[in-house]
Amino acid sequence: MGIFSIIGTIIVGFIVGLLARWIFPGTVPLGFWLTVGLGIGGSVVGGVIGDLIWRSPDGKFHPAGWFMSVAGALLLLWGYTNYIA
């Protein structure tokens, strides 16, 4: 994994985290790195949900696309606000 892949993951994670925070009702005080982590975690959770619904033909795990990433991030944000914060 090269430096550009890491930078791309951070940028996409930040965008997904921002979208999830924008859609989620109420104010959630998260900094930059927690927003990035929310987006990356949302992609992983969305990938797991997508893999449970639609099996991958090669049997390997694939991170989710934009829609499932935002849905996974919303699920993580809901859990964060209801059980942690």
What is the residue-level pLDDT of the chain in tens, covering all 85 positions?
Answer: 789 988 988 999 999 999 999 999 988 888 999 999 999 999 889 888 888 888 777 777 667 788 999 999 999 999 999 888 6
CA-to-CA dists, residue 74 to 4, 16, 22, 40, 57, angstroms: 27, 10, 10, 12, 27
- Rounded CA-CA distance 49/20 in Å is 17
Domain count, the chain: 1
3-class secondary-structure state, position 58:
coil
Q: What integer pLDDT is reported at residue 85 of this predicted model? A: 63
Q: What integer pLDDT is reported at residue 35 of this predicted model? A: 93
Q: What integer pLDDT is reported at residue 26 of this predicted model? A: 87
DSSP 24: S
Q: What integer pLDDT is reported at residue 76 of this predicted model? A: 94
Range of the domain at 39: 3-23+30-84
CA-to-CA dists, residue 3 to 8, 16, 72, 80, 82, angstroms: 9, 20, 25, 30, 35
